[in-house]
C-alpha cells in the first residue's frame, strides 16, 4: 500500500543481526577469507575458552565463536575441533603449538589453509 515508504524507513532504522565473525561491511552473503586449523587429540572436556587460551600463549588471536568442537552422533566431543582464525598470520603463529599439550594430551594441529566463509550466518 501507500505506507511502504514508512515501512521501508522503519526497516532501515531497525537493528540488524550481524555475523560477529565478519569485521567488514560487505553485507550478508559476502565471502570472507579465514584460515582454518584442525585440532586433534583434545581432552573431551576441552572448551572453546581452553582452546583460545592455548593459542593465546603464542600470540595467535582467535575468538571463542571461531572454535567449533566436533561432536559424534551421540552429541559427545570427538577430541577434534576446527578453529577459524581471522588471518593467515594468526594461523601461522598457532601452528607453533603443534604437539604441545592441553592437560596430559598432546594436540596435533593441521593447517588446512584459507577458506571462504559465507557471511550472514
Q: Quickly tell me which residue has 582452546 as its cell.
A: 51
Helix (H/G/I), strand (E/B), else coil: 79: strand
Judged by phi (left if over 0) then psi (alpha if -120 to 50, else beta), residue 117 lies in: beta
Measured at the CA of 42, the angle between CA 119 and CA 115, to 5 degrees, comes to: 25
Least confident range from 36-50, 64-78, 104-118: namely 104-118
Which helix (H) or strand (E) segment holds residue 113: the answer is strand 105-118
pLDDT (tens digit per residue) in 16-63:
444 444 444 445 555 567 999 999 999 999 999 999 999 999 999 999
Extract the runs of DSSP E, i.e. beta strands, from 2-96: 31-40, 67-71, 77-85
Report field, pTM of the whole predicted structure over 0.75? no
- Which residue would you say has higher pLDDT here, 91 or 13? 91
Banded pLDDT at 80 (limits 50, 70, 90): very high
CA 118 – CA 106 distance, rounded (Å): 32
Amino acid at each position: 500500500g501507500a505506507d511502504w515508504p514508512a515501512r521501508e524507513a522503519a526497516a532501515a532504522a531497525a537493528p540488524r543481526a550481524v555475523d560477529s565473525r565478519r569485521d567488514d561491511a560487505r553485507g550478508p552473503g559476502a565471502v570472507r577469507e579465514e584460515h582454518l586449523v584442525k585440532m586433534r587429540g583434545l581432552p573431551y572436556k576441552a572448551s572453546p575458552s581452553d582452546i583460545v587460551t592455548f593459542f593465546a600463549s603464542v600470540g595467535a588471536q582467535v575468538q571463542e565463536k571461531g572454535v567449533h568442537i566436533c561432536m559424534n552422533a551421540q552429541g559427545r566431543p570427538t577430541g577434534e575441533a576446527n578453529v577459524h582464525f581471522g588471518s593467515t598470520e594468526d594461523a601461522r603463529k598457532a601452528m607453533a603449538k603443534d604437539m604441545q599439550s592441553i592437560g596430559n594430551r598432546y594436540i596435533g594441529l593441521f593447517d588446512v589453509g584459507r577458506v571462504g566463509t559465507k557471511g550472514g550466518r
